[in-house]
Amino acid sequence: MRPTGLSQVLAACLRKGHLAGMLNILSALIGLVTLILMIPAVIPLLGALNWILVPIALFGALIGLMSSKKGGQNFCLLVAGFGALRLFLGGGIL
């Protein structure tokens, strides 16, 4: 018998482990987009952009925490660490 409702489909995906793998991919994509958006934040006087991007990377790490694999989570933590280091070196503003 095939699941028909959305909740039944999600429950079936969780049992099979498909959703956990997708969360890892989603986490890695959030980290990649955040890393790309951090490129302009390296330019002087645009470092305050990291105040927005570091929490986004941490949100990606939170999503990766729910996954069975840890690649996306570790990548998001690396991106958040890079942004935090940039904030530290710029004094929190620059």
So what's the pLDDT on residue 4? 66
Q: Quick one: DSSP state of residue 94?
A: -
Provide CB contacts within 8 A for 61, sequence distance 6+.
27, 31, 73, 76, 77, 80
**Chain centroid offset of residue 67 CA:** 12
Q: Which tens digits make up the pLDDT trace of 77-89?
A: 999 999 999 989 8
Averaged pLDDT of the chain: 85
Q: How far is CA 27 from the centre of its chain?
A: 4
* Confidence band for 37, pLDDT divided at 50, 70 and 90: very high
What are the tens digits of pLDDT across the range 5-20? 777 766 666 666 666 7
Question: Nearest Cα to 61, choosing from 17, 19, 94, 29?
Answer: 29
Percent of the chain with pLDDT over 70: 82
